Amino acid sequence: MVEGELPVLSSQERTQPGPYRIVIGTGFGILLSALDSSVVNVSLVTMSVGFGVEIEQIEWVVLAYLVVLTAAMPLMGKLGDRSGKKKVFQTGMALFIMGSAACAMSSQFLVLIAFRVFQAVGASMMTANGLALVTYFTTPDNRGRAIGLNSVILASALGFGPVVGGILTQFFGWPSVFLINIPLGLIGLIVGAVIIQETDPVKETRFDLLGGTLFFVVLFTAVFMLSLVDIVNVSVIMFLALIPVTTFVVFLHRERTFSSPIIPTRVLADRRISAGFFSAFLSFMAMSPVSFLMPFLLQEALGFSQSLTGVYLTAYPLTIAVMGPVSGFISERVQARRQTVIGLCFQLGGLVLLGVAMPNIPLMFLSVVVSAVGTGLFTVANSNFMMTTAPRNYMGVISALTNVSRTAAFSIATALSTAVFVFFFVGMNPEGLTSGPEYVNAYIASVRLAVWTFSLLAGIAVIISALRGVNAVEMDRQARRISAMTFADRAAQDEHAQASN
């Protein structure tokens, strides 16, 4: 058992806002951070025209935000553990509001990128500490439902972001996708100030700024390298890969030798936490073709309009949103190992079925729903398990890692899924056709192979999740269940004996 496990005190030991109120208190921060990851995507074409830049450049409006968000989260999680999670969360909300206003007023492309970085710093402070606050003010008996509701907010923001972004951009211009954050953020600041209580800070002597910098360099150079896959040859990519790999080795050495590391290796050495992180990362990576390639498949090969594509693709986040509370309820009663494996098997089966179903639109829709059911079952149970296993003084860091698994996968998949598709499409379409039945068939076949390629990651995640073990809460729950069954058996035996006499 990791020292300090069972980080959250019981309701008798701490006055707490309760599972539903704390979700409301942190919900605006989670909503804004996730919404901004998706709402901007629809506005990129309009922005590229307005700033006079190419698509290859404008994609950094999204990538800069995602990379900084992901890289800064462990640092901000650590800061929340040291200084108080509410303080860091609320400060992040204020920075995010200011960054949103600055983005909306940007008249030059590089200025916009700079303020997106500023905005992402605020978002990282909210995201890293939001789940930690939910965990801190809940108990093992109600935490699953709270995390389930948290996933509803996250899935809804990611799912409806493109729809909201399209409407705002069409009627009010691209600055409106940033301006909408201001009133929502101000409401969130007030609600958070009223509902959220401050947490007990963990006092440590040193802060690992160098470790945070190294982690940022690893992620930024990895994403930048992957964004060049379609532009430069393999030898250049292999050379560039030395930078993130070497930096990662230095980062690991730093974390092992520093007294107060950002990502403590002794915690990651706990297979329960490391299995949760890596299985989540692979799960999100496996679903990347649904997020990135399906819109192109529907419009380029199957003739969908933009609006119909948006409606079709809401099936995935809506299903996850519906599954959130259900999955949370189950996770309070079933071992995470069992629930996560079942969820990942659903996800894997849905991806395999999706490839088989193409281009049958109803069957494709069903496949996406099946995958989403699996994702919903897995994500909530995995997050609940990781946060319940986390040592008290690293709760913010583990909260950050659960979100890093999603945003890092999202960042890398932005470049990698496209590269995999292009690899297959070039082989399927050697003549370079841009229309006609052969073009459509090659397009469908390439997306199918890309989906099946990424589905292998879900298969690996199943194996990792099956090996995660159990934590103290699950063992205690099992012991209580056995005790209750034993008591019931004894009562039945006594009743039978009395009846016999």
**pLDDT tens digits, residue range 39-66?**
887 777 788 888 888 766 787 888 888 8
320 and 444 inside one domain: yes
94 and 226 inside one domain: no
Sequential pLDDT tens for the chain (501 residues): 444 444 444 433 445 666 778 888 888 888 888 888 778 877 777 888 888 887 667 878 888 888 888 888 888 888 888 888 899 999 999 999 999 999 999 999 999 999 999 999 999 999 888 888 888 888 877 888 888 888 888 878 877 787 788 788 888 888 999 999 999 999 999 999 998 888 888 776 567 788 888 888 887 788 777 767 666 677 887 888 889 899 989 988 888 888 778 777 777 778 888 888 899 999 999 998 887 788 778 877 888 876 677 778 788 888 988 888 888 888 888 888 899 999 999 999 999 999 999 999 999 999 999 999 999 999 988 988 888 887 777 777 787 888 888 878 877 776 688 778 888 888 888 777 777 888 889 989 999 999 999 999 999 999 999 988 776 666 666 666 666 666 656 666 666 666 665
179 and 145 inside one domain: yes
245 and 314 inside one domain: no
Q: Exposed, middle or buried by CB within 10 Å (0-12, 13-18, 19+), for 496?
A: exposed
122: which 2 tokens?
């605020």
203 and 226 inside one domain: no
Alpha-carbon gap, residue 18 to 190, rounded angstroms: 18
Give the chain's domain count.
3
pLDDT the model gives residue 11: 39
pLDDT the model gives residue 5: 46
Q: Within a domain: residue 500?
A: no
Q: Within a domain: residue 5?
A: no
What Cα–Cα distance (Å) separates residue 170 from each residue in 46, 174, 177, 277, 417? 9, 8, 11, 39, 28
276 and 320 inside one domain: yes
Q: Within a domain: residue 499?
A: no
Q: Within a domain: residue 493?
A: no
What Cα–Cα distance (Å) separates residue 173 from each residue in 40, 50, 279? 12, 10, 39
Total residues belonging to the chain: 501
Using CA atoms in the order 39, 40, 41, 44, what is the torsion angle rounded to 10 degrees? 150
Q: Within a domain: residue 392?
A: yes
- Asked if residue 302 lies in contact with residue 293, where contact means CB atoms within 8 angstroms, the answer is no
30 and 169 inside one domain: yes
DSSP 8-state assignment for residue 187: H
Q: Within a domain: residue 407?
A: yes
Domain of 123, in residue numbers: 10-208
107 and 76 inside one domain: yes
pLDDT the model gives residue 10: 41
141 and 242 inside one domain: no
pLDDT the model gives residue 3: 45
pLDDT the model gives residue 158: 77
pLDDT the model gives residue 325: 86
475 and 432 inside one domain: yes
pLDDT the model gives residue 430: 77
| Residue whose entry in the numeric block shows the structure tokens 């230095």 | 250
- Asked if residue 390 lies in contact with residue 263, where contact means CB atoms within 8 angstroms, the answer is no
pLDDT the model gives residue 414: 66
Q: Within a domain: residue 33?
A: yes
367 and 241 inside one domain: no
Three-state secondary structure of 113-166: HHHHHHHHHHHHHHHHHHHHHHHHCCCCCCHHHHHHHHHHHHHHHHHHHHHHHH
- Asked if residue 123 lies in contact with residue 76, where contact means CB atoms within 8 angstroms, the answer is no
What CATH number does the domain containing 49 carry? Answer: 1.20.1250.20
Alpha-carbon gap, residue 148 to 331, rounded angstroms: 9
476 and 371 inside one domain: yes
Q: Within a domain: residue 329?
A: yes
| Residue whose entry in the numeric block shows the structure tokens 């090659």 | 442
